Amino acid sequence: MGEVMNARVRTLIIGAVVLLLGAVGVFLLVRPKQNTPGKTEELTNVPSLVVETSAAKGEIDTAVPVGCPADPKPLANPVSVELVGHDKTMPMLSLGLDADGAAGAPPGDAAYTMAWYNEGPALGSKEGKALLTAHTYRQGGAIGNDLNGGLLKVGDVVKFTDQDGSIACYRYTNNYRLLEADYDENSDIVYDSNGEPQFALVVCSDYDAQGNALGRIIYYGSLVTGADAEAANGSPSPTR
């Protein structure tokens, strides 16, 4: 994504879908610094989540997992994602900006689907954050609820597959819980075209009594490459 587009998306809003109790899924548009939500202690149904910090390199297995390429290429059109070891494989959508100028999210009834923002870095790219979105439902039953409940553990492999069968793998490293009012659109916690190769998966959190999601949890994963194994072992390591 060019510098003009990068600057533009930094000022746009992270889109996420919320299912309100007893109602149809509603598109919640997060507009940081424009609305003042209630204080954190007034929130209800806040997920019980310990925000993890990035694990030290030596604490994560750096060898290339079975089925993952040592030299992944950018995926042009990812169609599925697998949370390895958790018996969860989900479809993926490739979406641009929605009608409100936010990164597109899956349809409201697609509880176990992820969307990739196709105007940012691609999955498998050697730099930048590949932005992903998925749903959290206020009353449970979506992948965001599973993640917020602690599904992923540091070092878990997340495998993305393109329509032509190409694969890019990431290892889950950490997550970050952010209240809407605290989001800085000039930060690189979501949009970043030039940093370390990661995915950034955004889901809703922190519901108030009216069912509004006042927060987001961002899950990060680092791209798996053969260079990780070489750096750890001092020599090339074959795929295992």
Domains of the chain and any CATH numbers: 3-32+61-233 (2.40.260.10)
State the SS3 of 164-215.
CCCEEEEEEEEEEEEEHHHCCCCCCCCCCCCCCCEEEEEEEEEECCCCCEEE
Extended beta strands in 35-86, E state? 78-83
| Backbone φ and ψ of 98, nearest 5° | -85, -175
166-174 mean pLDDT: 97
- Asked whether the beta carbons of 187 and 14 are under 8 A apart, the reply is no
The strand pairing partners of 190, in sequence order, are none
* pTM score of the predicted model: 0.76
Tokens 């600057």 belong to residue:
7
Higher pLDDT among residues 211 and 196, named by residue: 196
- Per the structure block, which two tokens stand in for 115? 């969307």
The predicted pLDDT at position 58 comes to 53
| Backbone φ and ψ of 227, nearest 5° | -65, -30
20 band by pLDDT with thresholds 50, 70 and 90: very low
- Asked whether the beta carbons of 104 and 177 are under 8 A apart, the reply is no
Among 199, 177, 212, 190, smallest CA distance to 102 is for 190
75-95 mean pLDDT: 97
200-220 mean pLDDT: 93
What letter does residue 114 receive in the DSSP assignment? E
148-153 contacts, C-beta under 8 A, 24 or more apart: 148/47, 148/49, 148/203, 148/205, 148/217, 149/47, 149/48, 149/49, 150/49, 150/50, 151/83, 151/86, 151/88, 152/83, 152/86, 152/219
What letter does residue 77 receive in the DSSP assignment? S
The predicted pLDDT at position 229 comes to 62
Mean pLDDT check: name the lowest of 43-47, 214-218, 219-223.
Answer: 43-47
| Backbone φ and ψ of 139, nearest 5° | -100, 15
